[in-house]
Structure 1
Amino acid sequence: MLKIKNLSSGYGKLKVLKQVSMHVKAGEIVAIIGANGAGKTTLLTTIAGLLRATSGEIEFRDRPITTLAAQKLPALGCVMVPEGRQVFAPLSVEENLILGGHVLRRQGRQLLAEQLAHQYELFPILHQRRQQLAGTLSGGEQQMLAMARALMSKPSLIMMDEPSTGLAPLIVQEIFRVIGRLREEGNTVLLVEQNAKAALTIADRGYVLETGKVILQGSAEDLLANRDVQRAYLGRERIH
């Protein structure tokens, strides 16, 4: 689904990603964990075309996308749920969702309506709030809206950047329940997450980023059992 080879990028003279290589298979949840400043968000924004790579290659479904404009990716089936939600605050919940499905308009209103109904089934609270302005939602509801908006385009790869940040534990459980269901429905998820235990518990595989480089990779089970990962990223929730 996604192949990344020797990818480097950064901001001006600041080099953040350094020769990163990884892959994501169809139907997987792949977690990327690491400390703040490790390059996790930079990786996603580079894949999404919001930040230009300085070297290396990105392929999505065997198509080179390294230099593709960001707005072209949703139509190919690759979407990103950004850190901080970034919903359209002055618009209603439903208007946000309809905007998320803009790439489906050529395929007819029926498909758009079906996607809208599916998001309301995934996130019942959004159906209750559908006429409410997005900016008045709680943080958890805005995160659900950001996810649902991305899903409106029927993507095959969903990239999520820190979906649990700042949310109450019960809301975090709900977010991860939905991520698990996405895989059941055949979606592929690339998950950047500060909550390493939650991410690895739900993921198939994972990568550990440190100072812009992949320092560890493996099955989620192996990473959860790795003493270095436990010490650095699992903290008091260490698995013995």
Structure 2
Amino acid sequence: MLRIKNLEAGYGKLRVLKRISLHVNPGEIVTLIGANGAGKTTLLSTITGLVRATAGEIVLKGQNIETLKAEKIVFRGCSLVPEGRQVFATMSVRENLVLGSYVQHRQGKEQLREGIEYIYDLFPVLRERKAQLAGTLSGGEQQMLAMGRALMAKPALIMLDEPSTGLAPLVVKNIFRIIERLREEGNTVLLIEQNAKAALKVADRGYVLETGKIILEGQADELLANRDVQRAYLGRDVKEN
């Protein structure tokens, strides 16, 4: 689904990503964990064309996309749920979802209706709030709306940037349950998370990013059991397990 080889990117003279190589297979949840400033968001921004790669290649569904503009990458089947939600605050829940479906507009009103119904089934609270302004939703509801908006494009690959940030534990648990459901329904997910324990529990595989470099990769359960990962990212409660 996604293959990245020797990718480099940054901002001006600042080199953030340093020869990143990773892959995501169809139907997988792959997580990328790392501390603040490791380059996780820059990686997603580079995949989606918001930051231009300076070297390396990004292949999505067998086609190179590293030189494409962001809107073309969305049309190729890659959607991003950005950090901080970034919903359209002065628009209703339903209007936000409709905007997310612009890639699918040419398929007609029936497909749009079916898409919205799918999101309402995935996130029932959004049906209840469909006429409410997005800016008045709770943080958890905004995260659900941001995910729903991205899914309206029916992406082959959905990328989530820190979906648990600022949310209560029960809401986080529900968000990760939805991420698992996406995989069960055949979706492919690249998950960026600081909550490494939660991310590795739902992921198939993972990568550890440190100062712009991949320093470790493996099956999710292997990374959960890795002592270095435990000390750096999982906390003392896991260390003794």
Q: Distance in 2 between matches of 1:44 and 1:75?
A: 16
> Who is 2:68 aligned against?
68
> Who is 2:21 aligned against?
21
Q: Distance in 2 between matches of 1:223 and 1:113?
A: 41
> Who is 2:3 aligned against?
3
Q: Which runs of 5+ in 2 are unaligned?
A: none
1:8–1:17 contact (8 Å) kept in structure 2: yes
Q: Distance in 2 between matches of 1:82 and 1:238?
A: 29
Instruction: Give the Å deviation of 1:133.
Output: 0.3
> Who is 2:147 aligned against?
147
> Who is 1:39 aligned against?
39
Instruction: Give the Å deviation of 1:148.
Output: 0.3
> Who is 2:99 aligned against?
99
Amino acid in structure 1 at the alignment position of 2:44: L
Q: Distance in 2 between matches of 1:51 and 1:211?
A: 17
Q: Distance in 1 between matches of 2:108 and 2:237?
A: 48
Instruction: Give the Å deviation of 1:238.
Output: 1.3
Q: Distance in 1 between matches of 2:236 and 2:101?
A: 41
Q: Distance in 2 between matches of 1:238 and 1:36?
A: 21
- Please give the secondary structure, in 1, of the residue aligned with 2:27: coil
Amino acid in structure 2 at the alignment position of 1:233: Y
Count residues with an aligned counterpart: 240
1:197–1:237 contact (8 Å) kept in structure 2: no
Q: Which runs of 4+ in 1 moved over 6 A?
A: none
Q: Distance in 2 between matches of 1:237 and 1:216?
A: 22
1:52–1:67 contact (8 Å) kept in structure 2: yes
Asked if 1:208 is matched to 2:219, the reply is no
1:55-134 to structure 2, matched below 5 A, reads 55-134=55-134
Q: Which runs of 5+ in 1 are unaligned?
A: none
Q: Distance in 2 between matches of 1:108 and 1:237?
A: 52
Q: Percent identity?
A: 69
> Who is 1:175 aligned against?
175
- Please give the secondary structure, in 1, of the residue aligned with 2:80: strand
Instruction: Give the Å deviation of 1:107.
Output: 1.0
Q: Distance in 2 between matches of 1:46 and 1:218?
A: 23
Q: Distance in 2 between matches of 1:212 and 1:169?
A: 29
Instruction: Give the Å deviation of 1:236.
Output: 3.0
Structure 1 length-normalised TM: 0.99
Instruction: Give the Å deviation of 1:237.
Output: 3.5
> Who is 2:138 aligned against?
138
Amino acid in structure 2 at the alignment position of 1:125: V
